[in-house]
């Protein structure tokens, strides 16, 4: 009926739900197992007389089962509380497992030793502050980075920076140098070129300025602010349509400069920009040419 050998044969060769087989060996998931290995002598199911030590909230209990209670799973395990003191606990184990097979006594004591050591270690560690390993939820991180990118694009930082710098330029935070870095300067001028051609023509007739060279190089943050100021002003002043947009390629830069400086002169109250832009300006216009031709 209940023979350990028969039970072991059935369990081991057929199916035991507690057995966990990994490449290093066969282990037993049963919480009452003394060693943790799936073994004929350490199987709590196949040995009708068995003892273990389990811990509950840091207190160790000695659990024992005997064959007399084998048919009552409710009351199968008898529990004895073990004292904190290691030696006393060993004595209590000895007393309760006095005539039991040596293997079980030995393994129970080994288990008690190991659990005591673990308990000491855990208590010591609990006192120290430990780094807590947090998992990085991959999904959230990726989602955040994607959203960051989109927000960056949507914010159009370049434009807002330009605007901000332009305002600052207006307020006179910066000095006079406008055409460094060269590429941005050219770019802005190209943009401005189309919008402000007519205005340019209007103005240049009466504002032909010859200014000195680059004597003072003052630092400019961004030539684009210069460009933006031009844009802002052109939007402000200039309502005309773009009929006169005929890019005069060669002299664009200088036109723009003059225009811009002119505009700036106009725009600013005049505190810092009383000095003319130290830029060589060569003014040439279609009108001027035509006039000359006409003269000819």
Partner 1 sequence: MAAARPLVTVQPLEADMATDSATTVHLPDVMKAPMRPDVVRFAHANLSKNKRQPYAVSKSAGHQTSAESWGTGRAVSRIPRVSGGGTHRAGQAAIGNMCRGGRMFAPTKIWRRWHRKVNVNLKRYAIVSAIAASAVPSLVLARGHRIESIPELPLVISDSAESVEKTSAALGVLKQIGAYSDAEKAKDSHAIRPGKGKMRNRRYINRKGPLIVYGTEGASLVKAFRNIPGVEIVNVERLNLLKLAPGGHLGRLVVWTKSAFEKLDSIYGSFEKPSEKKKGYVLPRAKMVNGDLSRIINSDEIQSVVRPIKKEVKRAPMKKNPLKNLNALLKLNPYAKTARRMALLAEAERVKSKEEKLERKRKPITKEEAAAIKAAGKSWYQTMISESDYAEFENFTKWLGVSQ
Q: Which stretches of the chain bind partner 1, using CB under 8 A? A: 1-7, 9-11, 13-18, 45-46, 70-76
**Nearest approach, Cβ of residue 121 and partner 1 (Å):** 30
How many Å separate Cα 215 from the centre of its chain?
Answer: 48
CB of 143 to partner 1, least distance (A): 27
- Residue number, 20 or 236, with CB nearest to partner 1: 20
Closer residue to partner 1 in complex, CB, 48/113: 48
Q: Tell me the C-alpha distance between 111 and 267, whole Å.
A: 89
Q: Which helix H or strand E contains 149, and what residues bound it? A: helix 138-155
**Closer by beta carbon to partner 1, 3 or else 146:** 3
Q: Which is nearer to partner 1, 40 or 146 (CB)?
A: 40
CB of 79 to partner 1, least distance (A): 13
CB of 18 to partner 1, least distance (A): 7
Sheet holding 78-81, edge to edge: 50-56, 59-65, 78-81
State the Cα–Cα distance between residues 111 and 31, nearest whole angstrom. 13
Q: Give which of 215, 212, 216, 226 is closest to 182, Cα–Cα.
A: 226
- In DSSP terms, 21 is beta-bridged to 26
């Amino acid at each position: 009926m209940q023979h350990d050998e028969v039970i072991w044969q059935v369990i081991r060769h057929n199916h035991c739900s507690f057995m966990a087989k990994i490449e290093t060996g066969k282990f037993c998931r049963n919480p009452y197992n003394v060693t943790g290995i799936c073994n004929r002598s350490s199987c709590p199911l196949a040995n009708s007389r068995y003892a273990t030590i389990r811990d509950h909230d840091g207190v160790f209990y000695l659990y024992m089962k005997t064959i007399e209670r084998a048919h009552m799973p409710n009351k199968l395990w008898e529990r004895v509380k073990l004292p904190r003191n290691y030696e006393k606990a060993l004595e209590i184990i000895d007393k309760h497992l006095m005539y039991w097979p040596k293997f079980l006594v030995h393994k129970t004591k080994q288990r008690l030793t190991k659990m005591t050591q673990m308990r000491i270690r855990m208590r010591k560690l609990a006192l120290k502050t430990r780094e807590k390993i947090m998992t990085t939820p991959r999904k959230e991180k990726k989602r955040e980075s994607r959203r960051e990118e989109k927000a960056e694009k949507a914010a159009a930082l370049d434009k807002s920076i330009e605007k901000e710098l332009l305002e600052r330029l207006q307020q006179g935070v910066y000095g006079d140098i406008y055409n460094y870095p060269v590429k941005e300067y050219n770019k802005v001028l190209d943009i401005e070129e189309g919008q402000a051609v007519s205005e340019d023509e209007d103005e240049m007739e009466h504002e032909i300025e010859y200014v000195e060279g680059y004597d003072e190089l003052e630092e400019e943050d961004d030539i684009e602010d210069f460009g933006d100021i031009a844009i802002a002003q052109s939007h402000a002043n200039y309502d005309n349509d773009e009929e006169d947009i005929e890019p005069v390629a060669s002299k664009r830069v200088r036109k723009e400069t003059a225009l811009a400086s002119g505009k700036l002169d106009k725009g600013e109250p005049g505190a810092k920009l009383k000095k003319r832009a130290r830029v060589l300006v060569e003014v040439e216009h279609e009108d001027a040419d035509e006039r000359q031709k006409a003269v000819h």
